[in-house]
Amino acid sequence: MRKIQILWADDEIELYSPIEEKNILWFEDKFQLRIPQEYKEFLKYSNGLYLSGYDFLGIVQGTDRAYGLDSIYDFEHYEAGNEMPKTLLPFSPDGFGNHYCLDIRNGNV
């Protein structure tokens, strides 16, 4: 696993508890996709984070956080009027109804 260095002040960042591999596998099986390896490593370090007003989503299955990769992926791909391409994994909302996404084919943002 790659070392992750945090460069922000503690009051600007909130890290969440790491997630277990079985939860990542659950997500991948549920949506029939593979999360890019770098994001998997991030989730194992911190299952999402809050950074100066921005959320980076984790998997919320079995947790009490309001939303995560699983609920956002489900909504954007199966419920939204303008469905997102299946190769995009929304990982961070921009606050205006859009999301930063990972392309699961190559890991690009």
The predicted-structure confidence for 87-107, as pLDDT tens digits, reads as follows 999 999 988 889 999 999 998
Q: List the structure tokens of 68.
A: 């995560």
Convert the pLDDT of each residue in 60-87 to its tens digit. 875 555 578 998 998 899 888 888 999 9
pTM strictly above 0.85: no
CB 90 within 8 A of CB 84: yes
Angle at CA 47, nearest 5°, toward 42 and 52? 85
Stronger pLDDT, 4 or 48, i.e. the higher one: 48
Nearest Cα neighbor of 30 from 70, 67, 64 is 70
